[in-house]
Amino acid sequence: MRLFIMIPLTFDQILLTPRFGRLPSHFYTRIQPTPLPAPYLIAWNQQLAREMGLASDAGQQPNLADYLCGNRLPTNSEPIASVYSGHQFGVNAGQLGDGRAILIGEYHAANGDFWEMQLKGAGPTPYSRRGDGRAVLRSSIREYLCSEAMQGLSIPTTRALGMAGSAHGVWRERLETAAVVLRTAPSFVRFGHFEHYRNDLDSLRELADWVIQHHYPSARQASNPYVSLLEQVIERTAVMIAKWQAVGFCHGVMNSDNMSILGLTLDYGPFGFMDGFDAGHICNHSDDTGRYSYQNQPEMGLWNLQCLAQALLPLMDRAAALNALQQYQSHFEAHFADLLRQKLGLLTWQESDWSLITRLFELMHASHTDWTFFWRNLANIDNSLRNHFLDRTAYDAWFSDYQLRLSREAQDSNERIASMNQINPKYVLRNYLAEIAIQKARDADDFSEINNLHRCLMQPFTEQAEFEHYAALPPAWAAQIGVSCSS
């Protein structure tokens, strides 16, 4: 018997030409990253590297900072930037594209998974629209941490494998320093890719066939594969947004060009996990009208899916597209109800439970009760939570009805507590935690907080004594943090 030893791979060994790069050339432009002077390593995601079968120790990856910022490319790399269109804040923005993202290749893992590798912030492309193609340190830290935090929460997301920085200056509202995130996903195709070809039937069909072949193979068995594709994207999107709502996550820029065809959370800009619950919470200071507020996210998911369906109309009957879209609400409500059932520690869901939830949301909204703290501590059936509500009499009445609802189900209390603690996280990436990590990195070249937060957030449901301080209620100064589209 022969013994095979799996040797972890380095960057120069792994990347192939991305399958997307085998489409005709009008889908993308071949482009080289713009070098960054004197890059340095900020973070390397050892856990993800191990999952992918790569050498997980940064010391085993020669010239790692150069690879992470695009100064060096793997031997087989043929970098591309793709073109797409989209609607931004409800307005057709026309041609957009990968303005600061460059796909450097694709990795085919030993388990059969494909991972596209994309550098975000690696310099201008033909789609930069007069931008510099760069990302700054603060936004790169936020994307690196949040994409991995979402993974820890079991929410579909792109991932972040590593991050490099440079003293190179980048101007936003002020002069900042540059950084690049190497992010990965099975595909970075967006709704906007389909919108770009809505008036080009051959290209639209070719793109849809490519997505079905590589990511939705079951659709090929349907009477109309394109309708099946739309239906599956609708369900994945509904599930993703239901999971956002359950943990109090706000995306901030739910434009159609920021919506993944795979139902992944994509493009971490002005995101935020709610502290005090506010149904109308707006995490993006650039969103003057509250289009992408917390309560509007489910509706905006449907709005974007309508854009996708409209783009796909040349490939299907209008009635079939409308019928597919009508499934969104039931998918969302079913998944959200199931998540709420688990958050409440219930074994079954009854229609009357919507009233219990509605009353709770109204009380939380009126008091700005901390979303994460409340849900995590509800498992203990400790009525001290009433101190987090303004109308304690009303809360007491709700709590009494909640206890009565629990009593109608035969469930061991220890099992209920354990199950609730596996759905209600103790740790989320609050904005103030990200801000502390950013300040340490920016002011003292101290990246330890990034690594500590990453370790904690990959196990958000587990009690971690060394990270207990990350579960604290936010300090008063946290309310002053603002994030916008430049974030």
Active-site positions read 257
Task: Please say whether the beta carbons of 430 and 273 come within 8 A.
Answer: yes
DSSP 476: G
> Which helix (H) or strand (E) element contains residue 309?
helix 297-312
Q: By three-state DSSP, how is residue 164 classified?
A: strand
Q: Tell me how long the chain is.
A: 487
State residue 400 phi and psi, 5-degree precision.
-65, -40
**Tokens representing residue 104 in the block:** 């450097």
Q: What torsion do the CA atoms of 421, 424, 425, 429 make, to the nearest 10 degrees? A: 180
Task: Please say whether the beta carbons of 100 and 39 come within 8 A.
Answer: no
- Between CA 335 and CA 242 the distance in angstroms is 6
Chain-centroid distance of CA 23 in Å reads 26
Q: Distances from the Cα of 283 to the Cαs of 131, 295, 431, in angstroms?
A: 24, 12, 10
- Between CA 32 and CA 14 the distance in angstroms is 18
- Between CA 359 and CA 381 the distance in angstroms is 18
Q: By three-state DSSP, how is residue 394 classified?
A: helix
- Between CA 473 and CA 452 the distance in angstroms is 18
Return the biggest CA–CA distance within the chain: 73
